[in-house]
Amino acid sequence: MREGRVGCRDGRGAAAWWLSAVAFPVVALAAVLIMDDQWRLWFDLPRLARSQIATDALLLETVLMVIVAPLGGVALVMRRLRRRDPLMRKQSETGALHRAWTLAWPLCAGAAVFAVTSAILAWAVLGRSSDPLPLIAMSHAALCAATLALATGGAFCASVLSDPLDAAACAVGLALVAAAGLLVAGPGVGNLPTVVIDAALQASPIVAVASAADIDILRMDALYRLSPLAHVRFDYPHWQATCGWYVGLAITVFVAMTRVFDRRTHA
Amino acid sequence: MNVRKGHMMKRISLFAACVCLVVGWAATCAAQSAPPPRTAPVQTLAPDLRAKLADSLARAAAYLRQQQAADGTWEKHPGITAMAATALLKQPGTSPAEQLRVVGKTLDGLAALAKPDGGIYDKDIPHYITAVSVMALVAGGRPQDKPLIEKARGYLAAALLDEGEGVSPTDKFYGGASYGGATAERRADIISLEYALRAMKESQVPASNAAWDKAIKFIQRTQNNSETNDQAWAANDGGFVYLPGFTYNTSGGTQSYGAATYAGLLSYSWANVKRDDERVKAVLKWVRNNYTVDENPGMGQKTVYYYYMVFAKALQAVGEPVIADAKGQRHNWREDLGRKLLSLQHPEGYWVNEVKDEMQDNKVLVTSFTMMSLEAILQK
């Protein structure tokens, strides 16, 4: 039981899982500070510079999350399916609910640890005042929901495909298409109906998280010049809708995944 | 007897001269103090065309009224709502009271969007939405909106990128207006700036406000005029690009294009740069060399209705009734543009662009732009 609660069976696996969730935002923030060459002036940074760093860090975390979260989901399920996994040996002894829980909780807790760490860092960057707290809460709730959905998607791919590399490629490919497909699709997307554009923006974790953080990502310099989207009518997704859709998607995919997972472990 | 008659004549002449002087002085004073008529007739517009344009404007206004939602908004979009309200409120030949019956609720809705920092917006593109909301509230002229307008004009003036945002005077974006937002980029463009300056001018930001000089720095840096633009890319055709070093001209490079150029000319006008200034003369040189009402020069039909709006407002602002093009042909721009707009109006009263960029597939927005063009044509 104790092993099941850890999520990854052996100590090293569990440590790597949680350490990744915590280290990920730290590394992203450090990268932004180094790239902006701002770290030397850390204590003298004006408010707007801090806001810019927080924005860049959140966007970088989200972009990296689109790749890493599906891989995390794949790794978790593949680990469960490995013969040496102690839980595998006990599959026949445990109930379906318990089996689902042992998969769900590391996904949920990993996403939450990642988002909370990122939120704490954002709060520290923005000057540790109470003013930005609502925005930080909204954006990181969206980040948590999107991470959970992508990780669950990776877990689903791993439960369907037997080869870990196939599963990883499929999961990351789908995540990238959802996240950036509309942004890099070229001039044709400008002619799509507004309702389709809005739905695609909602489906993009990058746009959804940025929107929850009040970042006008489509009108940022590069996308404004390159993408036709900023020049047509669209509405950014609301953070509540983002959380609702991604959590709903995660639950649906998770239910499907557990059924496939059960079939494979009993086969 | 003759001597007395001569004295009498002298007195009468002196009295007549004094009367003439007093009457002349009084007339001059009256002319200077009288407010300009709202719809001063333009002598350069043929009467039949003028009547057709007024009718066209009335049909467009009727279309906008039909499209208005019960809560006073248009298209569930604060920017489009503010533009439509402004177009209706500025319609010549109608009284503000008459128009306020239609847009009173609209102005209430815009006023309800006011934020503690002075901005008037819902969520997205706050600087843009505040600017057009200010235009609508100013056009409405309601006393209760004055405090909001004063705060909003301060918000717009403070929003121009400067040292407060960590932008130094040597930065190419210094003095420009961005879209704004909680996590705004330090980036500006001439179109956003024109909206901000128009709102600042209409809400009577004093000419002594430092924001105007900062704005002029940015305007210069988007102009292809190497005499006054310190950017290495600047050429010398006098026109404008979208933002320093970047253009939407389909030929690429940093070539000037129509909408940006007339927005630049209009921005100079709002920022109190006079017509005889070398920078304005340089823009007028571009205008003469690229005069057309058939397209947005450099972009074809893309954003052509925005082009028509800034074209008309800019030429109205600089007081150029006739443009002599590069071939020496003289154009009455009011008649040219008026006839063009009449030919493009749909029977239902609206205008719409087949190229949907910048939301120009939206009939309400494009009709609002075009009504403002017509209003500039019909006014001096």
Q: How far apart are CA B310 and CA B89, in angstroms?
A: 18
What does the pLDDT average to over B350-356? 94
Question: What pLDDT score does B25 carry?
Answer: 56
Which chain A residues contact residue B246 at CB under 8 A?
225
Phi, psi of B223 (to 5 degrees): -95, 135
- CB-defined contacts A:B, below 8 A: 53
Question: What pLDDT score does B31 carry?
Answer: 44
Long-range contacts of A32-40 (CB under 8 A, 24+ apart): A32/A56, A32/A57, A32/A60
What residues of chain B, 228 to 247, have a C-beta less than 8 Å from chain A? 246
What residues of chain B, 330 to 359, have a C-beta less than 8 Å from chain A? 356-359
Q: How far apart are CA B124 and CA B112, in angstroms?
A: 16
**Cβ B358–A220 below 8 Å, yes or no?**
no
Contact B296, B258 (CB under 8 A): yes
Q: What band does A4 get if pLDDT is binned at 50, 70 and 90?
A: very low
Per-residue pLDDT of B190-208, as tens digits, reads 999 999 999 999 999 999 9
**Cβ A214–B166 below 8 Å, yes or no?**
no
Phi, psi of B295 (to 5 degrees): -160, 170
Per-residue pLDDT of B24-70, as tens digits, reads 555 444 444 444 444 444 457 999 999 999 999 999 999 999 999 99
Q: Which of A46, A52, A231 sits opposite B357 (nearest CB)?
A: A231
Percent of chain B at pLDDT exceeding 70: 87
Which residue has 């074809």 as its token pair?
Answer: B300
What does the pLDDT average to over A143-149? 97
Q: Which of A49, A55, A233 sits opposite B359 (nearest CB)?
A: A233
Question: What pLDDT score does B193 carry?
Answer: 97
- A225 compared with B374, residue with greater pLDDT: B374
Question: What pLDDT score does B32 carry?
Answer: 42
**Cβ B362–A233 below 8 Å, yes or no?**
yes
Touching check for B93 and chain A: CB below 8 Å?
Answer: no
Q: Measured on CA atoms in the order B284, B288, B290, B291, is the torsion positive or negative?
A: positive
Touching check for B117 and chain A: CB below 8 Å?
Answer: no
Touching check for B122 and chain A: CB below 8 Å?
Answer: no
Is residue B101 left, alpha or beta, with left meaning phi > 0 and alpha meaning psi from -120 to 50? Answer: alpha
Supply the mean pLDDT for chain B: 89
Q: Which of A215, A225, A228 sits opposite B183 (nearest CB)?
A: A215
Per-residue pLDDT of A25-64, as tens digits, reads 999 999 988 887 766 666 666 677 788 888 899 999 999 9
Q: Which of A16-20, A239-243, B343-347 has the lowest mean pLDDT?
A: A16-20
Touching check for B163 and chain A: CB below 8 Å?
Answer: no
Q: What band does B23 get if pLDDT is binned at 50, 70 and 90?
A: low
Contact B162, B214 (CB under 8 A): yes
Touching check for A38 and chain B: CB below 8 Å?
Answer: no
Touching check for B278 and chain A: CB below 8 Å?
Answer: no
B378: enclosing H helix or E strand: helix B363-378
Question: What pLDDT score does B9 carry?
Answer: 58
Looking at the DSSP assignment, which residues form a beta bridge with residue B126? none
- B272 compared with A94, residue with greater pLDDT: B272
Residue A31's SS3 state is: helix
Touching check for B181 and chain A: CB below 8 Å?
Answer: yes
Structure tokens at B70: 């019960």
Cα separation values, A108 from A145, A150, B95, B148, Å: 9, 11, 62, 46
**Alpha helices, DSSP H, located in chain A:** 2-6, 11-36, 47-81, 86-89, 96-125, 133-160, 164-180, 194-203, 205-212, 221-226, 239-266
Q: What band does B5 get if pLDDT is binned at 50, 70 and 90?
A: low
Q: Which of A55, A190, A221 sits opposite B183 (nearest CB)?
A: A55
What does the pLDDT average to over A236-255? 94
Whether pLDDT at B158 is above 70:
yes
**Alpha helices, DSSP H, located in B203-296:** 210-221, 258-270, 278-289
Per-residue pLDDT of A192-211, as tens digits, reads 898 999 999 999 999 999 99
Nearest chain A residue (CA) to B80: A233
Q: How far apart are CA B88 and CA A20, in angstroms?
A: 58
**Cβ A55–B124 below 8 Å, yes or no?**
no
Q: How far apart are CA B103 and CA B94, in angstroms?
A: 13
Neighbours of B228 (CB within 10 A): 16
Q: How far apart are CA B338 and CA B108, in angstroms?
A: 33
Nearest chain A residue (CA) to B126: A216
Q: How far apart are CA B141 and CA B179, in angstroms?
A: 26
Which chain B residues contact residue A191 at CB under 8 A?
356
Q: How far apart are CA B288 and CA A243, in angstroms?
A: 55
Touching check for B186 and chain A: CB below 8 Å?
Answer: yes
Supply the mean pLDDT for chain A: 85
Q: What's the gap in Å between the CA of A112 and the closest CA on chain B?
A: 24
Q: Which residues contact B312 (CB under 8 A, 6 or more apart)?
A: B333, B334, B337, B372, B373, B374, B376, B377
Question: What pLDDT score does B39 carry?
Answer: 44
Q: How far apart are CA A162 and CA A157, in angstroms?
A: 9
Which residue has 């590394």 as its token pair?
Answer: A27
> Which of A36, A45, A47, A48 best tests the B interface by mutation, with the highest count of B CBs <10 A?
A48
Phi, psi of A189 (to 5 degrees): -65, -20
Contact B275, B228 (CB under 8 A): no
Touching check for B124 and chain A: CB below 8 Å?
Answer: yes
Q: Which of A46, A213, A225 sits opposite B183 (nearest CB)?
A: A213
Question: What pLDDT score does B33 carry?
Answer: 42
Per-residue pLDDT of B94-128, as tens digits, reads 887 888 999 999 999 999 999 999 999 998 889 99
> Which of B115, B129, B183, B187 best tests the A interface by mutation, with the highest count of A CBs <10 A?
B183
**Cβ B179–A215 below 8 Å, yes or no?**
no
What residues of chain B, 6 to 65, have a C-beta less than 8 Å from chain A? none
Touching check for A49 and chain B: CB below 8 Å?
Answer: yes
Q: What band does B7 get if pLDDT is binned at 50, 70 and 90?
A: low
